[in-house]
Chain A
Amino acid sequence: MHWFPEGVSTYSGTVDGLFKLILIVTGVAFVLTEVLLFVFAWIYRRREGRRATYTHGNNTLELIWTIVPAVFLVFLAFASARGWKAIKGSVPMTDEVVTVTGAQFSWEFRYRGADGAFDTPDDVVINDELRLPVGKPVKIRLRSKDVIHSLFLPNFRLKQDAVPGVTIEVWVEPTKTGTYEIACAELCGFGHTTMRGTLFVLSAEEYGAWLAEAQAAVAPPAEPTAGAPGATETPQQAPPA
C-alpha cells in the first residue's frame, strides 16, 4: 500500500501489517452493512398495497451478530497486544543511546561524549538533526523542557509523547539508510508546525566516523554551548537514498 510513508524500522512492518489486517476485517464489515443498508433502502421503499412485516426481532440473530463480531474483536485484540508488547513492552539491550529533549520549538539530540557518560560538558549536542546507525537497536531517552511534545518519526512508525518531569524510554532499529523527517505530533504552541527535524540513517561506518569527529570537536574546550561544528547547517554527507 503506497499510502503509508516508507517503513524503515524493524517494527514498521508490524504496524502496517496490523493496519492492513484491521482494514480487511473492518472493510468486510463496512461493505456488508452498507450494501445491506442501500439494498434495503431500495427494495423496501414505500409501495402501495404492501404492509411492513410485523416483527419485534429475533434472538438467534441477536446472538449471531453479537458473537461473530466478538470473535473478530478478540482476535484483533490479541494480535494488537502481541505487537504492542514487541514495540513498547521493553527496550532491548543496546549501548547506542540518544537523549532527545523537546523544547518550544526545536528538538535537541544529545549523544555521549568521549567520556562515555551523559550530561557532562563533552556531550555531543545537536539541534533538529538526528543521526542513527542502520541495523542496530537504539535507545531513545525522551524528555521535555517545557510543554508536552511528541516525537514523531513517520518512517519508523515511532511516536512517543515527551512529557516534562519524566524521562520516557523508547527504542527503534532502523533498517535502511537515508534521509527522513522528524515532526512534533502534539500541539505545543504557536510554533508547533515549525518543530521539524531531519533524520539521517547512516551506515555503521559513516555513523562511527561522524560520531568520533563530533566528539573530537567538542572535547577540548568543553564549552557549555558546545555543539558539533556545522551540525546545524545543511548536511555535508548526504547519505545514499
Chain B
Amino acid sequence: MSEHETPFIRKYIFSEDHKVIGIQFLFVSLLFMIVGGLLAMLVRWKLGFPDQPVPLGTHLPFLAENEGHIGDDVYNMAFSMHGSVMIFLAIIPILAGAFGNFLIPLMIGARDMAFPKLNMLSFWIGVPGGILMASSFFVEGGAAQTGWTSYPPLAAVEAYTGVGTGQNLWIISVLFLGTASIMGAVNYITTIVNMRAPGMYFFRMPLTIWALFITAVLQLMATPVLASALGMLLFDRTLGTHFFAPTGGGQVLLWQHLFWFYSHPAVYIMILPSMGFVSDILATFARKPIFGYKAMAFSIMGIAGLGFIVWGHHMFQSGMNPALGTAFMASTMVIALPSAIKTFNWLGTLWRGQIHYTPAMMNAMAFVSTFVIGGLSGIFMASTPVDIFIHDTYFIVAHIHYVLFGGTLFGIFAAINYWFPKMFGRMLNQTVNTIHFVLTFIFFNLTFFPMHILGMGGHMRRISDPNLYEFLKPWQPWNEFISINAFLLGATQLLFIANFFWSLFKGKKADRNPWRANTLEWVATSPAPHGNWGDQVPTVYRGPYEFSVPGVAEDYLPQSSPATVPGHAPAGAAARA
C-alpha cells in the first residue's frame, strides 16, 4: 500500500488498483458511447430526412463526396458500427469493466481483485480492440457494413460488400474485446468466491454483486464460443477456409448458431448488472429492504441458466428446423418468468417505502418502467408465428432499445449518479441531472415507442429508404417524428456530459456515505485509497438491505455495524421466516 511513491504512470495509466481500472473503463466506454450515439444520429437523419443532405455533411468523411447525403453503403456502415460500438465498446465494458471492477472489491470488503495484474492487462487488451474498431473507419473501403451480427456469407466474402480490411479489423477488434472480457470474468469470479470480508456470506451479498458474479460466469462460458466463431470467420476471409461457405461444403447457419450462443447470453450480460444496480438503488432510496432477496438472487441465476438455451429464437425464420423452433419458443417463454418475478419484487420494494427522489432513484424507477415494456414485447417475438411477421422489422428495433437503452442505460445513469461520489469524492449536481433524467425519459419513449407501431406496419429494419415501398410511405411522418425526438434525446445527453465534467472538478465534496446506504463501499472514504480499507478490513454482521429496522433510531443499518437489534433476527438473508 505504498502509493505515496507510486509514479503517475503506475498510478493512473498502468494501474493495478481496481478502482483506477474501473474508472479507466468508465471514461473509455463513455467516449465510445458518444461515438455510438453520433452514429445513431446519422442513421436517424437518413430515415427521417432521406432527401436532405446532413447539416455540415460536406465536411464529413464518407458524406463529402456525396454532397452531404448518406449513401446506402454509408448507411449500412453507420448502423453496423452503431450496434457494434454500443454493444462491444460501450455497454459491456461499462457494466462489467467499469462497475464490475470498481464495485466488486468495495462491496464485498476486499482490498483489491484477486489478480491485479490480470486486471490491468484486461483493460490494456481492451484498448487496442477499441483502437482497431475506431481505425476501421479510416481504411480503404471503410468500416464493416454487415450489422453487429456479421452474418456470413455477407461478412465472409469481400466481394459482397466491398469492405475488406474494415471487416477484418472488426473481427480482430471483437476478438481483443472478448479476450478482455474473459480475463475480467476470471478475476471477478475468483475475487467474489475467495475474497469476501469476514461475515460476507453469499446470501449477504448485495444484489449488484450477485448480478456481476453471474454476469462474469456468463462471460466466461459464452465468450470463448464467440471467439472460436470469429476465428473461423477470419480464416474464411483471409486463409480461404470454408467454415461458412456452402461452395466448399461449409454451413451458413453454423455462424448464427455460434454467434447467438454467445450473443443471447450477451444480452443478459448487458442487462443483469443493471438489474443489480437498480435493486440496490431502489432499496436505498425507498429506505426499505429489497422485497424477496432470495427470489431476486435465484431469478438472476435462472435468467443466466435459461439464457444458454434460448439462442434459437433469433433464428426462427433462418431455415432452422421448425420443430427446433418450437423447442426454443418454449424455453423463451420460460425465461420471461424470472424477469416477471424481478419486476414484481421491485414493485414490492417500493410498496410502503419512503421514496427519496434523487436522480439515481428516478433513473432506477425508469429502468423498471421501461424494462416492463422491453420484457413484454419479447413475448411477441417468442411466439413463433407472430415472429414470422415482426422478425427483422422495427418491432425488434423497438424491443432491443427498450431493453438496452430503457433498461441497461437507465441502469447505468442510475449507477453513475449513485456511485459518482464514491468514485470521485464529489457530488453530481442533482438539479441538472434531474432535468437530464426527465428529458431523457420523455425523448426516449417518444423515440422508441412508435417503432413498435412501425414494426406492426411491416417496416423492415436496416433499410435506408422506406419510401421505396408503397406500403411504408404512410409511415414517413412517423419516421420524421422519431428522428426529431432522437436528436433531442441525443442533445439532452450534453447536459449529462457537462454535469459530469463540471462536478468532477467543482462538485460539492462528498462524505463517506452521502445516501445513508448499508453496503460496504460506503464505509470506505470517498474516494477510497489504494487498498480501500486502511488498517482493518470491515466485518459483516448482516444483510445489505437493513433499512428502517424497528428499534433502530436511524433508518439504515450498515452491514459493518456491530450493533445488535433487540428482538430481531440478524441476517437479512431469508426472504421471510
B-side contacts of A3, CB under 8 Å: 453, 456-457
Flag if B456 contacts A44 (CB, 8 Å).
no
Per-residue interface assignment for chain A, residues 72 to 92, with 1 indicating a CB less than 8 Å from any chain B CB and 0 otherwise: 011011011101110111000
What A residues does B388 contact at CB under 8 A? 15, 87-88, 157-159
Q: Which of B118-167 contact A (CB under 8 A)?
A: 145-147, 151, 153-154, 157, 160-162
CB 8 Å contact bits of B302-345 with A (1 = contact, 0 = none): 00000000000000011100100110011001101100110111
Q: B51 within 8 Å of A by Cβ?
A: no
What residue of chain B has the Cβ atom nearest to residue A25's Cβ? B379
- The verdict on A216 contacting chain B, using a C-beta distance below 8 Å, is no
- A residues less than 8 Å from B464 (CB atoms): 192-193
A4-50 interface with B by 8 A CB criterion: 4-5, 11, 14-15, 18-19, 22-23, 25-26, 29-30, 33-34, 36-37, 40-41, 44-47, 50
Query: A15-B389, A36-B347, A40-B351 are known contacts. Are A164 and B246 too (CB-CB below 8 A)?
Result: yes
Contact of A4 among B379, B456, B548 (CB under 8 A): B456
Give the shortest distance, in Å, between A105 (CB) and chain B (any CB): 10
**Residue A131 at the chain B interface, CB threshold 8 Å:** no
Partner of B252 from A52, A165, A192 at Cβ < 8 Å: A165
Quick check: is A186 within 8 A (CB to CB) of the other chain? yes
A44-B350, A189-B160 known; A5 vs B369 contact (CB < 8 Å):
no
Are A33 and B325 in contact, CB atoms less than 8 angstroms apart? no
Partner of A69, one of B161, B337, B368: B337
Interface size classification for chain B: 35 or more
Answer whether residue A240 sits at the interface, using C-beta atoms and an 8 A cutoff: no
**A33-B343, A168-B319, A187-B462 as given contacts; A81 in contact with B379, CB under 8 Å:** no
Closest residue of chain B to A81, judged by CB?
A: B326
Asked whether B369 lies within 8 Å of A37 as measured between CB atoms, the reply is: yes
**B385 pairs with A83, CB closer than 8 A:** yes
Closest chain A residue to B250, Cβ basis: A165
Knowing A57-B576, A65-B340, say if A161 contacts B380 (CB, 8 Å): no
Interface membership of A59, Cβ < 8 A: yes
Selected contact of B291 from candidates A56, A66, A83, A148, CB within 8 Å: A56
Given the complex, which residues of B lie within 8 Å of A22, measured CB to CB?
379-380, 383, 386
Interface hits, B332-385 → A, CB 8 Å: 333-334, 336-337, 340-341, 343-345, 347-348, 350-357, 365, 368-369, 372-373, 376-377, 379-380, 382-385
Inter-subunit contact B575/A33 (CB<8 Å): no
When the two chains form their complex, are residues A161 and B319 in contact, meaning their CB atoms are under 8 A apart? yes
Is A229 interfacial (CB 8 A cutoff)? no
Q: What residues of chain A lie closer than 8 Å to B334, measured between beta carbons?
A: 73
Instruction: Name the A residues within 8 Å of B293 (CB-CB).
Output: 56-57
Binary flags per residue of A52-66, CB closer than 8 Å to B gives 1, else 0 = 111111110110011
CB interface residues, B 228-256, toward A, < 8 Å: 246-247, 250-253
Specify which of A52, A62, A154 is in contact with B548 (CB 8 Å cutoff): A52
The total of Cβ contacts below 8 Å across the A-B interface reads: 290
| Distance of A6 from chain B, by nearest CB (Å) | 9
> Is B34's beta carbon under 8 Å from chain A?
no
Chain B hits for A188, CB < 8 A: 154
Q: Are A46's CB and B383's CB within 8 A?
A: no
> Is there contact, CB below 8 Å, between B347 and A55?
no
Cβ-defined contact, A73 with B333, below 8 A: yes
Chain B, Cβ-Cβ closest to A70 = B337
Q: Which residue of B lies closest to A65 (CB)?
A: B344
User: CA–CA, A22 to B395, complex, Å?
Assistant: 14
Q: Which residues of B are found within 8 Å of A168, using beta-carbon distances?
A: 319
Give the distance in Å from the alpha carbon of A62 to the alpha carbon of B157 in the complex.
Answer: 52
Q: Are A186 and B392 in contact (CB under 8 A)?
A: yes
Please indicate the chain B residues that have their CB under 8 angstroms from the CB of A29 in the complex: 340, 372, 376
Beta-carbon contact of B458 and A154 below 8 Å: yes
**Partner-binding segment picked from B265-273, B281-289, B411-419:** B281-289
A52 interface neighbour in B146, B365, B373, B547, Cβ under 8 Å? B547
Asked if A57 contacts B369 (CB within 8 A), the reply is no
* A27, B498: Cα distance in complex, Å: 39
Given contacts A58-B576, A73-B336, A159-B388, is CB(A40)–CB(B460) below 8 Å?
Answer: no
Cα-based distance from A55 to B330 in the complex (angstroms): 35
Residue B550, interface by CB 8 Å? yes
Closest chain A residue, CB of each to CB of B153: A147
**When chains A and B are docked, how far (Å) is the Cα of A206 from the Cα of B271?**
55
Given contacts A4-B457, A15-B386, A164-B252, contact A159 B391 (CB under 8 A): yes
Residue of A nearest to B352 (CB): A53
**In the complex, A127 has a CB within 8 A of chain B:** no
Residues of chain B from 166 to 186 with CB closer than 8 A to chain A in the complex: none
Query: CB-nearest residue of chain B relative to A185?
Result: B392
Cα–Cα distance between A201 and B102 once the two chains are bound (Å): 62
Q: Are A14 and B385 in contact (CB under 8 A)?
A: yes
Answer yes or no: A196 CB below 8 A from chain B CBs.
yes
Q: A165 contacts which chain B residues (CB < 8 A)?
A: 246-247, 250-252
A32 vs B145: C-alpha distance when bound (angstroms):
42
Say yes or no: A84 contacts B325, CB within 8 Å.
Answer: yes
Taking the complex as formed, is A150 at the interface, i.e. its CB lies under 8 A from any CB of chain B?
yes
Contact B469 A190 (CB under 8 A): no
In the bound complex, CA of A135 to CA of B348 (Å): 54
Q: A44 touching B355 by the CB < 8 A rule?
A: yes
Cross-chain contact A46 with B470 (CB below 8 angstroms): no
In the complex, which residue of chain B has the Cβ closest to the Cβ of A68? B340
Are the CB atoms of A57 and B160 closer together than 8 Å?
no
Q: Does A203 contact B (CB under 8 A)?
A: no
* Cβ–Cβ < 8 Å partners of A80 in chain B: 329, 382-386
A152 at the interface (CB under 8 A from B): yes
Q: Is the CB of B286 within 8 A of A44?
A: yes
Is B468 an interface residue, CB under 8 A from the partner? yes
CA distance A125 to B289 in the complex (A): 69
B354 to chain A: which residues have CB within 8 Å?
44, 46-47, 50-52
Q: Give every chain A residue within 8 A of B383 (Cβ-Cβ).
A: 18-19, 22, 76, 79-80, 83
Chain B residues with CB under 8 Å of A52's CB are 286-288, 352-354, 547-548, 555
Select which of A34, A44, A73, A147 is within 8 A of B372 by beta carbon. Answer: A34
Beyond A84-B326, A163-B252, is A19–B286 a contact (Cβ under 8 Å)?
no
A183 an interface residue at 8 Å Cβ cutoff? yes
Known: A33-B347, A159-B392, A186-B392. A55 touches B289 (CB 8 A): yes
Give me the interface of A with B, judged by CB distance under 8 Å: 1, 3-5, 11, 14-15, 18-19, 22-23, 25-26, 29-30, 33-34, 36-37, 40-41, 44-47, 50-59, 61-62, 65-66, 69-70, 73-74, 76-77, 79-81, 83-85, 87-89, 104, 146-148, 150, 152, 154, 157-161, 163-166, 168, 180-181, 183-194, 196
12 of the cross-chain contacts (CB-CB < 8 Å) are A37-B350, A40-B353, A52-B286, A53-B353, A57-B291, A65-B344, A77-B330, A88-B384, A157-B389, A166-B252, A183-B460, A186-B151
- The 3 A-B residue pairs whose C-beta atoms are closest, nearest first, are A165-B246, A83-B385, A57-B292
